[in-house]
Amino acid sequence: MTDFTDFTAGQIADGVSSGDFTAVEVTQAFNARVAAAEKLGAFIVTTPDRAVEQAKAVDSARAGGKELGKMAGVPIGMKDLFCTDGVQTTAASHILEGFHPTYESTVSQKLWDAGCTMLGKLNLDQFAMGSSNETSYFGNVVNPYRKNGNDTELAPGGSSGGSSAAIAARLCPAATGTDTGGSIRQPAAFTGISGIKPTYGRCSRWGIIAFASSLDQAGPMARTVDDCALMLEAMAGFDAKDSTSLKLDVPQWRADLSSDLKGKKVGIPKEYRMDGMDAEIEALWAQAREWLTDAGAQIVDISLPHTQYALPTYYIIAPAEASSNLARYDGVRYGLRDLPEGAGLQDMYAATRAAGFGDEVKRRIMIGTYVLSAGFYDAYYTQAQKVRTLIKQDFADAFAKCDVILAPTTPTAAFELGQKSDDPVAMYLNDVFGVPASLAGLPAMSVPGGLNKDGLPLGLQLIGPALDEQMVLNAGLAIEERAGFSAKPQEWWT
């Protein structure tokens, strides 16, 4: 029997469209795989029946001679930040436990229209706030990879940790992610998969539970660059329901993929060479420069002088926007209500929010409330938005000299669960390479480059100019072809 779980999304869509196998067969194979992987904690809810129903619809459309979508019969996992009609959507928070949206997010609807089937809702850091998937109310996600000869549980990255773990473990060929400060790229790097955050405004934010609205972007995660291009085409596109949606046609990223980089310049930002950076990541970065040279590109040194200020800028702007966005969870319209005996409305709000939000979410609401409060607004928030302008300008200056930027995705490989959870600032530092592109709204991708000596994946990051996802994908493909990454985690979870 064919083992569909090693197929890429593109292979599944091709096979279903040409009738080599049915969408139902494929979906059942993945449903079984998901059901046997509870130890990974990747899903908050599974929806095997819904997946089969959707697969049957694809198969009957084909039998009826109808034209199929570009992802016909591809089973995917949906990050539990996307509202799905009638299926519990929680943002991994107790405050939304039991929330069943009565509408579908634009991005998830586009994926169903393209022929995808939904295996379930994927775990994440609570409200997408975290880098280790330890802030979920529904438990940790565990990285399918472990160090050689060592049983210690490692973080799958965050916030899209359920997505990254599920793909690496072959529970699904592709999944949605969202990226606010690296939440697609960092988990992709930790689990040996690929993922792209497109330019801010490419994918509609409508129906995605908001964290920091000026930064939040959805994107695909998968095992290959080709699958990322395929899925991004299905997810992107103008949506009148999102005021920041870009009114642009969706390019043919997949058809235009090319790893020939002749005449292209790849910028190496000197500020990303940090003291104390993992020597193996430094070596992989050097190796990637050779790979891209081999693909025909020229390597040039560039400078992004405000890099060191990106994290502090992010940790003002993101909590500020979050404190405002999360004001809606008040125990009135949806989710949890905690009404202490004899309490009035204000006490109900405070009790509900105290009971419903996790510690990291509360921490960020507190920081955000403080930096926006009277007397501090200019010193913190306005100053951060000004530094953000400088960070954006750094990239504009760099892209006058190069076509794409090559950097590591993270300063380390996957760390142990619990290792950084007591020190918020140490946790934040893991996003040092992810945050700058988010602040500037630029397309950025992580592709696996190899394994370190412990057997853990390491990721390489490509950052492109606004709207040039093609350049990012092409450079990613050039690395993918040369890295020949074929590692699979040992299957300890079944």
Window 413 to 442, contacts with another protein (CB under 8 A)? 424-425, 428, 439-441
Q: Residue 125 and residue 128: Cα distance in Å, rounded?
A: 5
* Range 81-100, binding another protein (CB under 8 A): 98-100
| Residue window 446-485: x/- pattern of binding to another protein, with contact defined by CB under 8 A | --------------------x-------------------
Minimum separation from the CB atom of position 21 to another protein (A): 38
Between 28 and 244, name the residue whose CB sits nearer to another protein: 244
Query: How crowded is the C-beta side of 57, counted as CA atoms within 13 Å?
Result: 16
**3-class DSSP state for residue 406?**
strand
The burial of 203, by beta-carbon neighbours within 10 Å (0-12 exposed, 13-18 middle, 19 or more buried), is given as buried
Between 153 and 338, name the residue whose CB sits nearer to another protein: 338
Between 415 and 428, name the residue whose CB sits nearer to another protein: 428
Identified binder of another protein from the candidate list 257, 309, 416, 493, rule CB under 8 A = 309
Catalytic residue among 105, 131, 136, 159: 159
Evaluate whether 145 touches 154 at the Cβ level (below 8 Å): yes
Catalytic residue among 17, 70, 79, 420: 79
Between 224 and 313, name the residue whose CB sits nearer to another protein: 313
Catalytic residue among 183, 245, 438, 446: 183
Indicate if 183 belongs to the active site: yes
Give the range of 47-55, 256-264, 270-278, 352-360 binding another protein by CB under 8 A: 352-360
Minimum separation from the CB atom of position 481 to another protein (A): 30
Minimum separation from the CB atom of position 345 to another protein (A): 5
Minimum separation from the CB atom of position 426 to another protein (A): 10
Between 384 and 462, name the residue whose CB sits nearer to another protein: 384
Identified binder of another protein from the candidate list 5, 369, 419, 470, rule CB under 8 A = 369
**3-class DSSP state for residue 122?**
strand
313 binds another protein (CB under 8 A): yes
194-197 and 217-222 as β-strands: parallel, antiparallel, unpaired?
antiparallel
250 binds another protein (CB under 8 A): no
Identified binder of another protein from the candidate list 146, 254, 353, 420, rule CB under 8 A = 353
Q: What is the largest CA-CA distance in the chain?
A: 72
Give the range of 15-23, 134-142, 286-294, 303-311 binding another protein by CB under 8 A: 303-311
* Range 192-231, binding another protein (CB under 8 A): 199-201, 214-215
| Residue window 319-348: x/- pattern of binding to another protein, with contact defined by CB under 8 A | ----x---x--xxxxxxxx-x---xxxxxx
- Scored b (16 or more CB within 10 A) or e, 457-483 reads bbbbbbbbbbbbbbbbbbbbbbbbebb
Indicate if 213 belongs to the active site: no
Minimum separation from the CB atom of position 349 to another protein (A): 4
* Range 374-403, binding another protein (CB under 8 A): 379-380, 382-390, 392
> How many residues of this chain bind another protein (CB under 8 A)?
75
Phi/psi of residue 16, nearest 5 degrees: -70, -45
- Scored b (16 or more CB within 10 A) or e, 339-374 reads eeeeeeeeebbebbbeebbbebbeebbebbbebbee
Between 370 and 493, name the residue whose CB sits nearer to another protein: 370
The tokens for 301 are 């040194």
Give the range of 130-138, 167-175, 370-378, 453-461 binding another protein by CB under 8 A: 370-378
Between 109 and 164, name the residue whose CB sits nearer to another protein: 109
Give the range of 112-120, 183-191, 240-248, 280-288 binding another protein by CB under 8 A: 240-248
Indicate if 159 belongs to the active site: yes
Q: Residue 111 and residue 325: Cα distance in Å, rounded?
A: 26
The burial of 411, by beta-carbon neighbours within 10 Å (0-12 exposed, 13-18 middle, 19 or more buried), is given as middle
**3-class DSSP state for residue 450?**
strand
What Cα–Cα distance (Å) separates residue 424 from each residue in 136, 158, 210, 415, 473? Answer: 15, 14, 21, 15, 33
Q: Residue 122 and residue 167: Cα distance in Å, rounded?
A: 11
Phi/psi of residue 184, nearest 5 degrees: -100, -45
Minimum separation from the CB atom of position 434 to another protein (A): 15
The tokens for 476 are 């990613």
Query: How crowded is the C-beta side of 349, counted as CA atoms within 13 Å?
Result: 7
Residues in the chain: 494
Among 454, 311, 453, smallest CA distance to 384 is for: 311
Q: Which residues are the active-site residues?
A: 79, 159, 183
